[in-house]
Amino acid sequence: MAHRKRKVKVYEEDLTSLTKEELIDHIQRLIAHNFQLKNVINKNVDHGQHWSENPGQRKFDFSKCPRRHIFIKLLYLGWDYQGYATQEETSKTIEWELFKALKRSCLIEERARSNYHRCGRTDKGVSAFGQVISIDVRTKLVKNKCSGNEVDGEMPSYDVHVVEETEGELEYCKILNRLLPPSIRAIAWSPALPRQSARFNCIKRTYKYFFPRGNLDIQRMVTAAEHLVGEHDFRNLCKMDVGNGVINFRRRILSVSIKVLSEDQLAESSGGSHGKDKIFAGEIVEPVNCEVLESIGDSVQSCANPSTSSCTESLECGPKELSNNAVSDRKQSLERIYDMCELTIVGKAFLWHQIRSIMTVLFLIGQGKEEPDVIRRLLDVDNFPRKPQYTMASEIPLNLFASDFESTLNWVYDRSTILYIIKDLQKEWTMLSVRSAMIKQMISELGSGCDDVDGSELTNCLLKGVRPRSYVPLLQREKCNSLESKIDHYAKKRRIDV
């Protein structure tokens, strides 16, 4: 009876060739799988029942409501969420909260008929300041002036003459923000044509990655990042998602820059004041709707490992023997390792885990473990067709910062809504900054007399995985399966068509 225990993969055309025992085994597995799916559905219904069903309340009649197509700009702190996109096994996603608010406010009837698209799908822990969605929502501008009648239960479409109208419209952001959690906020909305899509009409996306300077040599990282600009095959700098049909890994990076932020620059980093410490690794300026980035300053003094002697006696050693100037210089050097840095990368589209993979390699270069040229070599897929094994950088510092579209959108900002959002973010900033200041003072007290504090752990903690005792260069490590072998694997499973 051993053949009953083997896992039988069955397709419709193979059922007639199975034995009775194999059919029984297949049916039993289907019953078990069906039971699991029912549990998932029941759990999701339990999570959503408090907002999708309101006993005693009259059901909203969407057939009498005209609709319009709009874009909505969102920000969210994704640290405590399982990603942006809805998932079967959890309700802790940005999209779940968003559609909960959309349905509860009766702006839409159901997702399936809302003409919904999203600009990007951020992963677990990733935040956004410039996430954009496109969707059909209820409007109050065109009473009895619809250009079409209700068809198959759908809402009537809106009059083409009000596509750009905003005066007197529903306050979409204010409505949503009353129902969204504080970590998710609608910033602005814009009128849009019915066929405009937040996904397909987006021409470039800007991501930012924040990290402490630590013991990193920033200039080495900038030199390496120059190789990223342009169109390349990034199969060695991403996670290949062949199982979902992605077999083309050529992407175009428009610009990369690194900025060392002071306290004031951190507050102004999005306001156009670049500051003296901004370094551009490279850029491509295109004639259509691409922001011209200007390089300000040729370089920034990099923070290599502080040249200090080893503290072999007690916490009282070192500073007592230094002159006042030396003590001052040493304090400044130790403070510099806590400078916050910002990598900004602009591209038309990005691959799965592409930026986090890039950051891993840049960190290794900044730490002096790899040469800046390693990025150019990883992009040379003819000579290096297989990705070396390495872990991705942390997702927490990553932010989908901006999205740009083919045509100019008429964003509608409400002053009271923006002030409301700022107050929420100020509360979040206060709690996080208080914790940061408290921890930094503890570090200062403990390390006041120890000369071998180099800040290496400030960036090591962003590199996930177990650190080996001896470092193995990237190009000498074991390699992942090649793209061709992955394609062949999923083709045999009939997951993709070649």
Mind giving me the DSSP string for 62-105?
GGG--EEEEEEEEEE-GGGSS-SS-BTTBS-SHHHHHHHHHHHT
SS3 (DSSP) at 42: helix
Q: For residue 170, what are its two tokens?
A: 């529903």
Sheet strands (E) in 94-200: 117-118, 127-138, 184-191
d(CA 338, CA 263): 11
d(CA 149, CA 82): 40
Q: Are strands 127-138 and 398-405 parallel, antiparallel or unpaired?
A: parallel
Nearest partner of 89 among 47, 28, 120, 32, judged by Cα: 47
At position 145, the amino acid (one-letter code) is K
CA distances from 449 to 92, 313, 327 (A): 45, 10, 11
C-alpha 125 chain-centroid distance: 8
SS3 (DSSP) at 169: coil
β-bridge partners, 209: 343, 398
d(CA 489, CA 85): 27
Which residue matches tokens 């001896």?
Answer: 470
Q: How far apart are the first and last CA of the chain?
A: 37
Catalytic-residue membership of 488? no
Helical segments of 144-206, H only:
172-177
Q: Which of 25, 123, 233, 339 is catalytic?
A: 123
d(CA 59, CA 328): 70
β-bridge partners, 131: 74
Provide the annotated active-site residues. 123
